[in-house]
Amino acid sequence: MPPLDPGELPRIAAELALVLESKDRKVYARYFLGGQDIDIPARSGYSVGYLIAAEAGKTRTLEELAAMGPDEVCIVEDDALRRFSGRPAP
């Protein structure tokens, strides 16, 4: 998968932050499936997820990443998406 164009990241991160907990199949398809006529790169959710994991790995060991619970993962995701989208800290 080609890397995500950095110019696309703020918009995609802002969108993802709004639908992160969605169970809607159409939302999932927009970010994780290919072969669609959409206005963002196909499967861009994987690229954003990689960037979130890379950011988290800057301050945590691999073992610490693997041991993260769901609540901590949500905090890391929310923080990274906020920063990627350019929103100020709360």
pLDDT at 84: 96
Report if residue 53 sits inside a domain: yes
Phi-psi region of 43 (alpha: psi -120 to 50; beta: other; left: phi over 0): left
Report if residue 3 sits inside a domain: no
pLDDT at 1: 65
Report if residue 24 sits inside a domain: yes
Q: Could you tell me the residue range of the domain that residue 36 belongs to?
A: 9-84
Q: How confident is the model at residue 89 (pLDDT cuts 50, 70, 90)?
A: confident
pTM: 0.87
Measured distance CA(72)–CA(37) in Å, rounded: 34
Number of compact structural domains in the chain: 1
